[in-house]
Structure 1
């Protein structure tokens, strides 16, 4: 499923270090601005203990997890919306992703240069958000300038939509001019549908990722507290990660070594695993499973998807020729111990086209093409 999160931030905040640890992809990490020019793309497995539980009970030949895609986008700077620091190119990359992870520097280190000379996470966030808002403002104003011509169009559908857009774009312009994100503007679902073709950057869901030093992993430092307070005003999520520590963990060769390192460092769940799950959730993704002796596999679907749409994730033929979904929830299998006992307990159901697939469903699709 082609849904992804773009990792953005000012230069030298630790984006590429975190991306490299997250994906084990060879993103160059260096102590100078614009280390990343073309976006690096990494595919990351989403850890899910339910998948292993299913595998333990069924004993398949293969176990295949679901994934989430991360895109490491070059550092933005003040003036990016006007082309500073290759800004137009980088903003174009951000416009193509589905959600944003904004890395914020929340540590002091005299050996790592800050692009503005001093560590101030709120200034950093506002610099990024201002540039993204100004980039969106340009798109909105361009659309606004075309409205008079569209309103006069002989096609009533085009004319009617243009008239409905007038107040929405006016509201957006006033909001974006103040450097505020479109996601915190009171827009109805109908408004969002009207402007969906604009693909506004600041309308995308955003997670603030605080990159901290090891001493701040257990207790929030003042920088993290500031970010949490800022994020609460726009309803965005905040996660904390030590990029340096995660980089060291990812460099270890075996899972056993990684677990030993984490235990010694007092880490129960790696920051990267927390980030992967948060990104998966932020993208509105959920997981169902297919289970058999050949393969136990996790599949990604959009929350709220009906059974035929979820079947289409496996193959378009499954959606096109959908007949029924034979399904039970994985928790029923965990509680009862076998698929035969799931059937005996009446937990196995036959669902039709209107069934809304649930996170954790185990499904066998029946189809005919």
Structure 2
């Protein structure tokens, strides 16, 4: 079999670890807290009031994965650890949030701590739900403009505060090449933001590499975070899969945020489903209206926004998902388990999940030659079942 062709992927902003978080962001009264409630099965106040969620509520949501479920069924482990997405319900932003309006500075700091952003945008009218809109009439494109502008303004502030530091370094040492390159990256990024564009789209435009990425990562810029758009519809509109704003929102995202995911859903309908204790009645309702809950799609899409995949370790003691960014070589994957695994890496013993599924067991994989030994250059594939051999005999040299 020919070796797997390695596709060179462009570098990404951000440094997600094994614990991934996403912030629900939007104007007040667009359905963020209701969405959070149904995503996380928690009971956060969702009142008709702009700042009912002042402190961010946080909960972990299991990332749906049939492969993990199959491994657990096979091994019946004492411990089961799936991939998790931490969801943060961030209070509504308003115009002027970057300057402190509406407690905006605190809210923006909460966004800064997340790895990705879920923009919740409302396409239901007040007459449909009785929930007022803080900006008056429903206009999702205006709402997206407001939120995106506030995030950009905050990023501009961060860069404007950093540029004088670089200028001082260059003044002290005119030959400081690193400082000069950092200053050039910051100035280019600032102009990009002033043009009304989000930082994450500058990477491909300027063909930046890890050097520029590292400069921007230090600032944890808000518009550098990958984003997804959750279009919150009224229940009747969701059930008939029609809304006068959907096409316009799609066109807006395609123009301003090309390639980013958009998921229409109804927080109102999802809350109704969540309140139904009878699983049979819940399924009957879905069949009747020929729709599905969109929550699994939201969670799974949100997790993969960050170009994340996971490998498994599996046995009678534990089946566990380990999160890595694609592509990742075997030593780096081993390092997510323990730094010693990466430092003393010898080899990875690997079964591709599909091979394991077809064979039915680890022993049968070995018998058919599908249990492989891989070295330091192996690129871990999504769903690989891995066991690492390592040897650390002394402390790492400083």
TM-score calculated relative to the size of structure 2: 0.85
Answer whether contact 2:116 2:306 (CA < 8 A) is retained. Answer: yes
Structure 1 segment 115-130 matched on structure 2, within 5 A: 115-130=134-149
After superposition, the C-alpha distances for 1:312-368 in whole angstroms (9 at most, x for unaligned) are 333334334433211111111222222222112211101122222110101122234
**Other-structure match for 1:359:** 382
Instruction: Look up the match of 2:133.
Output: 114
Partner of 1:242 in structure 2? Answer: 266
Distance 2:347 2:279 in 1: 40
Q: Are 1:179 and 2:179 counterparts?
A: no
The answer to whether the aligner puts 1:216 opposite 2:237 as a matched pair is yes
Cα shift at 1:284: 2.1
Alignment correspondent of 1:44: 61
Residues 324 and 353, structure 1, Cα contact 8 Å, conserved in 2 = yes
Deviates more, 1:7-16 or 1:188-197: 188-197
- Structure 1 residues 148, 60: CA separation in 2 closer, same or farther (over 3 Å shift)? closer
Aligned 8 A contact 2:324 2:336 in 1: yes
Distance 1:307 1:184 in 2: 29
Shift, 1:96, TM fit? 1.5
d(CA) in 2 for partners of 1:178, 1:66:
38
Q: CA RMSD in A?
A: 2.1
Inter-CA distance 198–259: structure 2 relative to 1 (3 Å threshold): same
* CA 1:69–1:351: 2 relative to 1, 3 Å: same
Unaligned runs of at least 5 residues, structure 1? none
SS at match of 2:312: strand
- DSSP-derived class of the 1:139 partner: helix
Displacement, 1:77?
0.3
Say whether the 8 Å CA contact 2:62–2:83 is kept in structure 1: yes
Contact kept? 2:167, 2:183, Cα under 8 Å: no
Pick which of 174-183 and 15-24 moved more: 174-183
Find out whether 1:207 has 2:224 as its counterpart.
no
Whether contact under 8 Å (1:12, 1:112) holds in the other structure is yes
In the alignment, what sits opposite 2:71?
54
1:231 counterpart SS class:
helix
Does residue 323 in structure 1 map to residue 346 in structure 2?
Answer: yes
SS of 2:19's partner is: coil
Contact 1:4 1:283 in 2 (8 A): no
Give the Å deviation of 1:91: 1.0
In 1, Cα distance between equivalents of 2:291 and 2:336: 35
Given that 1:32 and 1:113 are in contact with CA atoms closer than 8 Å, whether structure 2 keeps it comes out as no
Q: How far does the alpha carbon of each residue in 1:175-219 deviate from its partner, in whole angstroms, 9 at most, with x for none?
A: 323433222333322433332212211111111110112233353
Q: Which moved more, 1:278-287 or 1:62-71?
A: 62-71
Superposed displacement of residue 263, structure 1: 3.2
Structure 2 unmatched ranges of 5 or more: 1-17, 393-398
1:299 and 1:133 map into 2 onto residues whose CA distance is 33
Cα deviation, 1:1-43, whole Å, max 9, x if unaligned, reads: 2321111000000001101110112322111101111111110
Given the two structures, how large is their TM-score scaled by the length of structure 1?
Answer: 0.92
Q: Output the CA distance in 1 between the equivalents of 2:280 and 2:391.
A: 46
Q: Residue 213 of structure 2 aligns with which residue?
A: 192
Moved more, 93-102 or 169-178: 169-178
CA–CA separation in structure 2 for the residues paired with 1:172 and 1:42: 33
Residue equivalent to 1:12: 29
